[in-house]
Amino acid sequence: MKLNNLTPAEGSRGRQKRVGRGEGSGHGGQSTRGMNGAKSRSGYRHKIGFEGGQMPIQRRMPKFGFKNPTRVEYKAVNVSTLQTVSERFNVTVITPDTLIEAGFTSKNDLVKILGNGELTAALEVSANAFSKSAQLKIEAAGGKLIIL
């Protein structure tokens, strides 16, 4: 077998449709483009969302809602996650960098510690924000909070 004698599988390639080559071909006249209109002309491109002159859906639907430009989004990390990180990596000081290494956050995330789960290790935790329940659990376990 060589590259010069490779052929496609039998029946996998159809014949090319030759349009505009006379009425006898069956594709003469309007060349399979139908009756007149923009779609029958060369160079036809419709705008995105164009629905043939009917009012497009993005204009029929009402505007609603509000996007707060000053919203601050935090990546939520639970107290139970802190416990697993301290056990797995054998650390007592947990910073956002530690959580990035463990794969729980990424480098651009602001971290908020939430109080779901149990904490037994006395940890020194640094984060951007803490919930009340997380604060109580960390301090009850003998840990310390540092707000960045």
pLDDT confidence of residue 99:
93
pLDDT of residue 147: 94
Rounded mean pLDDT for each run of 10 residues along the chain, 148 residues in total: 93 92 92 91 91 93 93 94 92 92 93 93 94 94 92
Nearest Cα to Cα of residue 101 among 83, 119, 116, 89: 89
- The answer to whether the beta carbons of residues 106 and 100 sit under 8 Å apart is yes
| Stated pTM of the model | 0.58
The strand pairing partners of 127, in sequence order, are 147
Amino acid at 135: Q
**Fold designation for 74-147:** Ribosomal Protein L15; Chain: K; domain 2 (3.100.10)
- Residues in contact with 122: Cβ distance below 8 Å, sequence separation at least 6, in sequence order: 92, 141, 142, 143
Per the DSSP assignment, residues forming a β-bridge with 126 are: 146
Q: Residue 52 has what pLDDT?
A: 86
Tell me the β-bridge partners of 133: none
